[in-house]
Structure 1
Amino acid sequence: MPNAAPFEEHTDRYEAWFDEYEAVYESELNALDRLLDDGRALEVGVGSGRFAAPLGIDIGVDPTIGMLQRARRREIDVVRGVAEQLPFAEETFETVLLVTTICFVEDVPATLAEARRVLAPDGDLVLGYVDRHSPVGEIYEQHKEESPFYRDATFVSTDQLRGALLDAGFTDFEIVQTVFRWIDEVDEPEPVEPGYGDGSFVVIKARR
């Protein structure tokens, strides 16, 4: 199981980030919403439901009890579990969403394999994350020892993640990006643009 202790111990600090960086949060939501389709969806690593609730995803899984309690208050149907062993039957969902979760999992290939297992044929996996090779990603990597959340994180680049997705059997990638400035400089939602390489928050949609 990934190290859930920081999220149990610092839940209020986690929640406060979204209020402090509201414009960054809205930028990320807009990028995710651009690639999400309608249909039965699951968020893996749902946390406190900050993304699932506004995006209309009502089922979430997470290993952190405190986070699940908050997600439940946001009317998310929550289950305790980990990305590498999802407690759902095969071909259950039309969309599986992971937001920032990929940098915290213990086993990326197992996570992607599990996401593919629970997706219906032609279902979509949507991944939102801070690109390791972006300006924000570089700073997070340099200072991750200072953060209780990112201390154990393994940031990935878009090229790395695309390779892992191909290895897992995913196809038909669509990619968008946002957050083009350092987060302290973002005072209104940033644009969502196709591709990657300039924005620090990247979203990939891949077909099962």
Structure 2
Amino acid sequence: MPKTAPFEEHTDRYEQWFETHEAAYRSELAALERLLSPAGYGIEIGVGSGRFAGPLGMDVGIDPSAAMLGCARERGIEVVRGVAESLPFDAATFDTVLSVTTICFVDDITQTLAEAARVLEPDGELVLGFIDKHSPVGEIYQETKEQNPFYRDAVFVSTDELIEVLEAAGFTDFEFVQTIYHWLDDIDGPEPIESGYGDGSFVGIRARR
């Protein structure tokens, strides 16, 4: 069942996070920009308020939260209400599928990635951004999740766990970037962006079918 209630009820708090942690947000954007190809027709799964889809050039965004979609629409995104496990699009519709900090909220990661593979063109690319559960930020989020309305029901995954599911869904040719090396409240400028994973709390993965 989609975890929409916190996003419907705390939209202002969600948006405020990006204002309060602008340096971390900009670092995550910059990391994902390194992975994305510049052209093509793209969708963000779990578009939220459009904070990533807009700057990263996605054309369409899908999300189960009406409140989030309203914000994304104001940012110029064509929005569709729906869930990651059952995308209302034909096969081979998109050149790019983006999903940022959404994997921890879906009901079925395997089905989500299978759907991402289905709607991608044969040579399309999937780009994921997420907080690794074994990272410093991931561990704090898990320890304090009961105090956070957004993360209370989240299920965090590690990069290695996600790679296994991606491979099972038919994805190959992985490329990794990482950033966010400090606790979010301590970040007041751009964080380094490095290849690989295992050090930064925010990990980006590009994979191809």
Normalising by the residue count of structure 1, what TM-score does the alignment of the two structures yield?
0.99
* 2:182 paired residue number: 181
Q: 1:190 Cα shift?
A: 0.6
Give the whole-Å Cα distance in 1 for the aligned partners of 2:56 and 2:174: 21
Give the whole-Å Cα distance in 2 for the aligned partners of 1:64 and 1:167: 29
Aligned-residue CA RMSD (Å): 0.6
Give the whole-Å Cα distance in 1 for the aligned partners of 2:47 and 2:179: 21
Spell out the pairing of 1:85-96 with structure 2 (5 A cutoff): 85-96=86-97
- The letter for the 1-side match of 2:23 is A
- The letter for the 1-side match of 2:75 is R
Give the whole-Å Cα distance in 2 for the aligned partners of 1:126 and 1:54: 14
Instruction: Could you list the structure 1 runs, at least 4 aligned residues long, displaced by more than 4 angstroms after superposition.
Output: none
* 1:133 paired residue number: 134
Give the whole-Å Cα distance in 2 for the aligned partners of 1:163 and 1:106: 17
Any idea what the Cα deviations from partners look like across 1:58-87, whole Å, max 9, x if unmatched? 210000000101110001000000000001
* 1:15 paired residue number: 15
Give the whole-Å Cα distance in 1 for the aligned partners of 2:57 and 2:111: 26
Spell out the pairing of 1:59-74 with structure 2 (5 A cutoff): 59-74=60-75
- The letter for the 2-side match of 1:91 is A
- Number of paired residues? 208
Instruction: Give secondary structure in 2 for the equivalent of 1:53.
Output: coil
Q: 1:122 Cα shift?
A: 1.4
* 1:29 paired residue number: 29
- The letter for the 1-side match of 2:132 is D
* 1:155 paired residue number: 156
Any idea what the Cα deviations from partners look like across 1:80-106, whole Å, max 9, x if unmatched? 000000011000001100000000000
* 1:3 paired residue number: 3
* 1:80 paired residue number: 81
Give the whole-Å Cα distance in 1 for the aligned partners of 2:65 and 2:74: 15
Instruction: Give secondary structure in 1 for the equivalent of 2:88.
Output: coil
- The letter for the 2-side match of 1:7 is F
Any idea what the Cα deviations from partners look like across 1:153-177, whole Å, max 9, x if unmatched? 0000000000110111100000000
- Unpaired segments of 5 or more residues in structure 1? none
Any idea what the Cα deviations from partners look like across 1:28-87, whole Å, max 9, x if unmatched? 000111101121110000011000111111210000000101110001000000000001
Instruction: Give secondary structure in 1 for the equivalent of 2:134.
Output: coil
Instruction: Give secondary structure in 2 for the equivalent of 1:129.
Output: strand
Give the whole-Å Cα distance in 2 for the aligned partners of 1:33 and 1:139: 26
Normalising by the residue count of structure 2, what TM-score does the alignment of the two structures yield?
0.98
- The letter for the 2-side match of 1:148 is P
Q: 1:5 Cα shift?
A: 0.4
Q: 1:2 Cα shift?
A: 1.2
Give the whole-Å Cα distance in 1 for the aligned partners of 2:108 and 2:119: 17
